[in-house]
Structure 1
Amino acid sequence: MKTTYIAYLRQSTQKQEMSGLGVEAQREIIQNYLKDRKPIAEYIETESGRKSDRPKLTEALEVCRKTGSTLIVAKLDRLSRNVAFTSKLLESDVEIVFCDFPEANKLVLHIISSIAEYEANLISQRTKQSLQAKKARGVKLGKPKNLLDRLEQAIENSNKTNHQKALDNPNNKRAIAMLKGLVKEERSLSEMARILNEEGFVTSKGCQFKASQVSILLKRYDLK
């Protein structure tokens, strides 16, 4: 009997909920993991990763128990950034699989979760210290929403610059040209990844390509 899956996706803000930012990427990661299978249900939560009050997650876990399904999550940090909360879930009666660590056992997941929470606390602490230092220098910080808007604008500008640099890179031009040809040949994402690897192309981190990364490239350079 084949395993059935319930998908759980989490986004942190209402703004992400309106734009769909993050959810589509999680959905794509899950689908690439399941390949030709589909989750029998999907639950989307809009909540901070630090909070334990998760009505949608509670619903998803209840359906998993009723149907004997496995909860599937794109990434460990999408479940929670609270190590105690994650540990409790890992010890529950519902099987959970994380697409970024599919082979990891519970001990490894506990360790990874602890590191993720530690890093989140460090980022929060550094942000507070930076804001306090700016305030002490007399810098007008403004409203949180304005700060967020400025940050998003800076990210967008940076992405545009990096995008143009990528297009101007001769090696990237050759990869894009190859992908265009593979799209016309109606090759699958897995086949495209295999061909890129055989041709010696690597990702920005120096790793081999996977189907999910090819999909991101096709969208980034509007090759579909």
Structure 2
Amino acid sequence: MATCKCVIYYRVSTARQGSPGLGLEDQTKVVTDYLGDGAWRLVGEFTEIETVKSANSFVSRPELHRALEICKRKRATLIIANLGRLSRSVRFVNGLIEEGVDFKAADMPHADKFMIQAHAIMAEWERVQNSDRMKAALAAAKARGVVLGATGPANLRANIETRQKAAEAFAKSVAKVFAGFKAAGLTQRAMAEELNRLGITSTRGGQWNASQVGPVLKRLLRKPARR
């Protein structure tokens, strides 16, 4: 069996290290499972400590640049645990493709770099959609007289109502996806993992965990109140 050279690149955030799928231990397991068939020879391994500024900045990833240099020099493939740990920015992924280095996402073993690019486009689209929904909800709240950032019982009530409406709108937007998960008999943890794999962001624009899936399921099961 021919052996291919590879360089592993991990990215972790000290603020979110404990979140499912985001920690170094989780990424290591995914990559180890992917490389377990013996077809790869490791020639480099790098871990990036994420900062707010470097989250989607190609120039602010020194470890990534070191990994790419070795890939070019050794003609190796860059291995990442999943696309979300690289970036959810299409511009960032395009920049990596332009570097001329082959790369693979361990959670999408059969995807080539162009399929990964398409996946990044969908992930970015979903993030923009979530952002637009939130902006629309805030604009509607302001139009109803809610003073954003202000305190007091009246404004607190209005803000709660705004959040509830935004949550309802989000639940409706992913209703078909969750219906498919339920039909397949997935657990809440498995649903969270699948949502992350598909690049669908949570209500706050981040990755999912099992505790975030529960409230959405409850909203979808809740019968509308009679008027």
Question: Which of the five TM-score ranges fits, normalised by the shorter chain?
Answer: 0.5 to 0.7
Which residue in the other structure is 1:30 paired with? 31
Residue 139 of structure 1 and its aligned partner are, at CA, apart by 6.0
Which residue identity is paired with 2:67? A
1:56/1:141 Cα in 2 relative to 1: closer, same or farther (>3 Å)?
A: farther
Residue 203 of structure 1 and its aligned partner are, at CA, apart by 4.1
1:7–1:72 Cα contact (<8 Å) kept: yes
2:7–2:78 Cα contact (<8 Å) kept: yes
Structure 1 SS opposite 2:58:
coil
1:51–1:82 Cα contact (<8 Å) kept: no
- Percent of pairs with identical residues: 29
2:89–2:120 Cα contact (<8 Å) kept: yes
Which residue in the other structure is 2:4 paired with? 3
**Correspondence for 1:85 among 92, 103, 111:** 92
1:17-46 alpha-carbon deviations (Å, 9 max, x no partner): 5x5862221111111111165744232241
- 1: CA distance between counterparts of 2:104 and 2:83? 9
**Correspondence for 1:137 among 127, 142, 146:** 146
Which residue in the other structure is 1:215 paired with? none
Query: After superposition, where does 1:98-113 map in structure 2 within 5 Å?
Result: 98-113=105-120
More helix, by proportion? 1
- 2: CA distance between counterparts of 1:10 and 1:125? 28
**Correspondence for 2:187 among 199, 204, 208:** 204
1:108/1:41 Cα in 2 relative to 1: closer, same or farther (>3 Å)?
A: closer
2:9–2:64 Cα contact (<8 Å) kept: yes
TM-score by structure 1 length?
Answer: 0.53
Which protein, 1 or 2, shows the higher relative CO under an 8 Å CA cutoff with sep ≥ 6? 2
1:140/1:85 Cα in 2 relative to 1: closer, same or farther (>3 Å)?
A: closer
Which residue in the other structure is 1:64 paired with? 71
Residue 95 of structure 1 and its aligned partner are, at CA, apart by 1.3
Structure 2: stretches of 5+ with no match in the other structure: 152-183, 192-227
1:127-165 alpha-carbon deviations (Å, 9 max, x no partner): 4444565675246479xxxxxxxxxxxxxxxxxxxxxxx
1:50/1:141 Cα in 2 relative to 1: closer, same or farther (>3 Å)?
A: farther
1:49–1:82 Cα contact (<8 Å) kept: no
- 1: CA distance between counterparts of 2:186 and 2:36? 22
Which residue identity is paired with 1:102? P
Structure 2 SS opposite 1:102:
coil
2:103–2:113 Cα contact (<8 Å) kept: no
Q: How many residues align?
A: 147
Query: Which of 38-47 and 61-70 deviates more?
Result: 38-47
- 1: CA distance between counterparts of 2:19 and 2:78? 21
- 1: CA distance between counterparts of 2:36 and 2:80? 15
